Amino acid sequence: MRPTKAIINLNRLNQNIANLKALIRPETSFMAVVKANAYGHGAVPVAKSASKAGADWLGVALPEEGAELRENGVELPILVLGEVSPEQSKTVLRYDLTQAIPSIETARHLNLAAKQYGKRVKVHLKLDTGMGRIGFRSISELEKAADELSSMEFIEIEGAFTHFASADEEDPSYTTEQIEKLDNMLKALKNRGIGPNIIHASNSAGVFHFPNANYNMVRCGISIYGYYPSERAERLADARLLPILQWETHIAHIKTIEAGCSISYGRTYTASCTRRVATLPVGYADGYNRLLGNKAFVLVNGKKAPVIGRVCMDQIMIDITDIPDAIVGDPVVLLGEQGTESITAEDLAKLCGTISYEILTSISERVPRVYVET
């Protein structure tokens, strides 16, 4: 196996889910969001482990993601959270997926596909209370759609949901407005004779900050992978989350350079004195962000080693002058723990001006995933 690999600790995943479920009422259903290849962790193994850990639902972005889970024996209800085309509607039916309905047009072509398959399809109405992406935006639009939905023979309205835009921020006012708008939209549906059995709004941030908005299901994504949705959540919550992914490689080459020698493209690093430099077989094609050059550090023998020069497509260089015992073949941690030191996705995200989600989902498919339960 390639020495550059991502090690996924499924025991930590299960513990994170247990800790999150302890924050909600026992009767509240728990959806593990496994879209985008489970945020880069591997959708099938994560989904199977989450099922055993007590997840009641799985959330994906695309019907194709749901199909992959079904083809690998995953039986939990799966909600497709995103919009679908008429062609994708066939996948929803074929693999017994539940589909979000953000518009009446989606409902129409899904109803047609269901008629062709000769079976009803369960749907959750997507209500846009302030995210501004997809969903019914106003009560009048929703009421008009509800009248038509009621006449669709092959559509079964099982649920309704919204998505919080800023539940992770210090100011709760906008989320409070979203909750109020959701409640009003649900009342409008009830007045039209539509009473969805499953209502959900809280994402990871909502679980931590708005327990009154958990309704009867919550959707947790980033938190099941061991990361808090905000510094505020980490500061206030007692969920004891642990990152489940460790990204490792090894030292492939070592050389000594003299003062004046430069490293990598653009010569952005020039040695001021004699330095010991190691090359690692990992680069931006693996998802190690190019912005990390001359900013990040890695862990070698339990010590920090700075990344020097620009990140290449397949390789990076590090300064191991202060780690004299390092040799070719020694393991290197890019993301994770070694000894008493650690590097988190949040650490790397801050250096890149982004979020932990992007760091994790950017780890490419050519990095093998290895699953452990320790």
Number of domains, the chain: 2
Write out the DSSP string of 73-139.
Answer: T--S-EEE-S---HHHHHHHHHTT-EEEE-SHHHHHHHHHHHHHHTS-EEEEEEB-SSS-SSSB-SH
Asked if 35 is an active-site residue, the reply is: yes
Same-domain check for residues 365 and 342 = yes
**From the candidates 119, 190, 255, 265, which is the catalytic residue?**
265
Same-domain check for residues 304 and 188 = no
Same-domain check for residues 312 and 212 = no
Same-domain check for residues 116 and 159 = yes
Domain boundary among 236, 263, 292: 236
Same-domain check for residues 326 and 202 = no
What's the whole-number mean pLDDT along residues 337-343? Answer: 98
Domain boundary among 186, 211, 236: 236
- Residues 211 and 202: their CA atoms lie apart, in Å, by 8
Query: In this structure, what are the phi and psi dihedrals at residue 192, rounded to the nearest 5 degrees?
Result: -95, 10
Same-domain check for residues 198 and 322 = no
For the chain, the average pLDDT equals 97
In a domain, 1, yes or no: no
Q: Which of 192, 125, 119 is nearest to 153 (CA)?
A: 119
Same-domain check for residues 228 and 252 = no
Helix, strand, coil tally for the chain in percent (to 5): 35, 25, 40
Q: Which of 196, 179, 175 is nearest to 101 (CA)?
A: 196
- Could you report the per-residue pLDDT of 270-327, keeping only the tens digit for each? 999 999 999 999 999 999 999 999 999 999 999 999 999 999 999 999 999 999 999 9
Domain that holds residue 336: 245-372
% of the chain beyond a pLDDT of 90: 95
Same-domain check for residues 204 and 250 = no
- Could you report the per-residue pLDDT of 206-223, keeping only the tens digit for each? 999 999 999 999 999 999
Same-domain check for residues 269 and 217 = no
Residue 219, amino acid: R
| Per-residue buried b or exposed e for 213-224, using 16+ beta carbons within 10 Å of the residue's own CB | bbbebbbbbbbb
Domain boundary among 211, 236, 261: 236
- Could you report the per-residue pLDDT of 114-158, keeping only the tens digit for each? 999 999 999 999 999 999 999 999 999 999 999 999 999 999 999
CATH number of the structural domain spanning residue 302: 2.40.37.10
**Is a pLDDT exceeding 90 seen at residue 238?**
no
Residue 28, amino acid: T
Asked if 265 is an active-site residue, the reply is: yes
In a domain, 292, yes or no: yes
> What is the number of other CB atoms lying within 10 angstroms of the CB of residue 171?
8
- Could you report the per-residue pLDDT of 104-123, keeping only the tens digit for each? 999 999 999 999 999 999 99
**From the candidates 5, 21, 35, 39, which is the catalytic residue?**
35
